[in-house]
Every structure is written in structure tokens, then in C-alpha cells.
């Protein structure tokens, strides 16, 4: 098994089923966790030095930070309803509390914070929805926390790829500090597949010199970490694909380089 693939573990008492830290990933910026909660179960965490976005993957919840609270948020019961998530932005040196009102799955997205912005709710109406690509590379983008929204480090984006289509395509990379042409961003892909039984996706991660050249079979609920290189994704016929992207790096800007061998597809 490639070390770029992170699978879910036995649920802890607090509902955690997956955790990626900078130490476990071998990088500096991105942390990512998934919790699956039952009604009435509570997760409460200090953010410490981490800017945090809590994404309600599915289900409804009450949520609160040190100074703010939001009751009965969440709408979709499955990501494949293809409606934007409710999310809560929490700065560093704060805390969050999430209480499940239904069966609930949340993703906790983390990166170093500077305390620049206050906690806030990111509601579905705050999320820009766009179509990217066309034909067999068409997919739906839901920008929870894109570059033009306030944050210190984090990018958080949902992507829906129809069955039989490719995504994050043509292949691109963002692994060099070479601004303004390209910026360094670490990235995680949290995959959900419909139907999940027997379903899979393929993700390739590779560099120009092929010193990294992995093709990964991804099942529902697994994460691919992208420390460097190009990273296209394929959804096989019969299985539609959702993934949640989390990115962060030393500078909060999304500047990338396309694989020159495939850049002609942009034309």
C-alpha cells in the first residue's frame, strides 16, 4: 500500500475515524480529521495555533465557538445531494464544539493561523458553485473557502465528478515556491463514492522526473495526500465521485503549473 493513501481506522470514543497531522504526512501545514457521530454525541476541541474549518459532510448539528453559536445547521444527509455544505470557520486560539442532532459526519480541516479573522458560519448560500471543464473532464466545484474569501492559510473546496469523468484534469501541480508563477501548497483529497459498495476511484500522483509516480486505488472514505507533483483523478463508469480538498502553504495563493504534456487540452 502506498504511503500516500490514508484509510479510516476503528472509531474512537469521541467518534474519530481518520487523522492526518503534519508529522504523519511528513509536511508542514495541513491537518485533517474525520469524525462520525451519533445523535447527542459531542466533539469539543481547542484550536491552539491552528486555523480550523469544520465541514458538515452530512447530517445536522449545533455548533459553537468561544463567542458564537449556531443551532440546527446542516441540511444534506448525503454529499451526493450535491448541495453545498454548512461549515464553521474557527480561528486559532479559539475552540469549537459540535453536537450531533442526527447521524453526523464532519471533517476538521487545519493549518497554521494568525488570528486575523473572527469565527463565522459559512452557509450554503455563501458557497460559490461553478462548473469546471467540459465533456469527460466536466465537474462541479463548491468553493467553501477559496482564495477570495478571508482566511490565513486554508483553502477548502468540494468537488463532484460524474461517473466516467476525470477531475483535477488536465494534471497540474503546486509544489514549488516560485511566485508569481507557482506557489507551494500541500493538499489532501477526502474521497466519497456513490454507490460505495464495490466503488472506487483512481488517483495518480507523479512528478516530471517520475521519482514519484503512483497510481492509487481509492475506496469510499479514504484520503490521498499530495505532498508534491501532479494529481489527476478518475471516476470509473457507474460510480460518481465526491472529494473534499484541503490546501495550505507558506503563502495563501493558488498558483499552479499544468503538465506541459497535457496542457494542449486547455485549448
DSSP letter string, 61-113? EEEEESS-EEEEE---SSGGG-PPPPEEEE-SS-EEEEEESSSEEEEEEEEE-
Which pLDDT value is given to residue 142? 98
- Judge contact between 35 and 57, C-beta under 8 A: no
Show the cell assigned to 35.
469524525
pLDDT confidence of residue 2: 55
Mean pLDDT by 10 residues, the chain (267 residues): 86 97 97 98 98 98 98 97 98 98 98 97 98 94 98 98 96 96 97 95 97 96 98 98 98 96 84
Q: What gap in Å lies between CA 41 and CA 215, rounded to an integer?
A: 37
Lookup result for grid cell 459531542? 42
pLDDT at 237: 97
Q: Are 145 and 155 in contact (CB under 8 A)?
A: yes
Asked if 253 and 259 touch (Cβ cutoff 8 Å), the reply is no
With beta carbons less than 8 A apart as the criterion, state whether 156 and 252 touch.
no
- Supply the DSSP symbol for 24: H
What distance in Å separates the CA atoms of residue 191 and residue 61, rounded to the nearest whole number? 22
* Length of the chain in terms of residues written: 267
β-partners of residue 150 are: none
What is the reported pLDDT for 131? 96
d(CA 147, CA 248): 11
Task: Supply the pLDDT for residue 1.
Answer: 39
Spatial strand order in the sheet of 128-132: 5-6, 223-226, 186-194, 240-248, 155-161, 139-145, 128-132
Model-level pTM?
0.96
As beta bridge partners, residue 179 has none
Q: Helix, strand or coil for residue 231?
A: coil
* Of 74, 77, 166, 181, the residue nearest 123 (C-alpha): 74
Residues whose CB is less than 8 angstroms from the CB of residue 48 and which lie 6 or more positions away in sequence, other chains included: 92, 93
Amino acid at each position: 500500500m502506498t504511503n500516500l493513501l490514508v484509510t479510516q481506522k476503528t472509531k474512537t470514543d469521541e467518534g474519530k475515524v481518520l487523522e492526518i497531522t503534519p508529522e504523519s504526512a511528513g509536511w508542514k501545514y495541513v491537518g485533517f480529521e474525520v469524525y462520525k457521530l451519533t445523535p447527542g454525541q459531542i466533539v469539543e476541541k481547542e484550536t491552539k495555533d491552528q486555523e480550523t474549518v469544520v465541514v458538515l459532510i452530512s447530517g445536522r448539528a449545533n455548533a459553537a465557538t468561544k463567542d458564537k453559536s449556531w443551532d440546527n445547521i446542516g441540511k444534506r444527509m448525503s454529499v451526493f445531494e450535491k448541495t453545498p455544505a454548512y461549515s464553521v470557520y474557527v480561528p486559532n486560539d479559539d475552540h469549537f464544539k459540535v453536537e450531533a442532532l442526527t447521524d453526523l459526519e464532519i471533517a476538521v480541516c487545519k493549518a497554521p493561523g494568525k488570528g486575523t479573522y473572527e469565527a463565522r458560519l459559512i452557509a450554503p448560500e455563501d458557497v460559490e458553485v461553478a462548473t469546471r471543464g467540459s465533456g469527460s473532464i466536466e465537474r462541479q466545484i463548491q468553493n467553501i473557502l477559496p482564495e477570495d474569501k478571508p482566511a490565513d492559510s486554508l483553502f477548502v473546496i468540494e468537488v463532484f465528478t460524474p461517473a466516467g469523468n476525470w477531475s483535477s484534469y488536465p494534471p497540474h501541480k503546486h509544489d514549488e515556491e516560485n511566485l508569481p508563477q507557482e506557489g507551494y501548497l500541500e493538499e489532501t483529497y477526502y474521497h466519497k463514492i456513490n454507490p460505495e459498495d464495490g466503488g472506487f476511484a483512481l488517483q495518480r500522483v507523479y512528478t516530471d522526473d517520475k521519482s514519484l509516480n503512483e497510481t492509487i486505488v481509492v475506496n469510499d472514505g479514504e484520503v490521498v495526500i499530495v505532498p508534491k507533483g501532479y494529481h489527476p483523478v478518475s471516476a470509473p463508469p457507474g460510480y460518481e465521485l465526491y472529494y473534499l480538498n484541503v490546501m495550505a502553504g507558506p503563502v495563501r495563493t493558488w498558483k499552479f503549473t499544468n503538465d506541459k504534456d497535457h496542457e494542449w487540452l486547455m485549448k
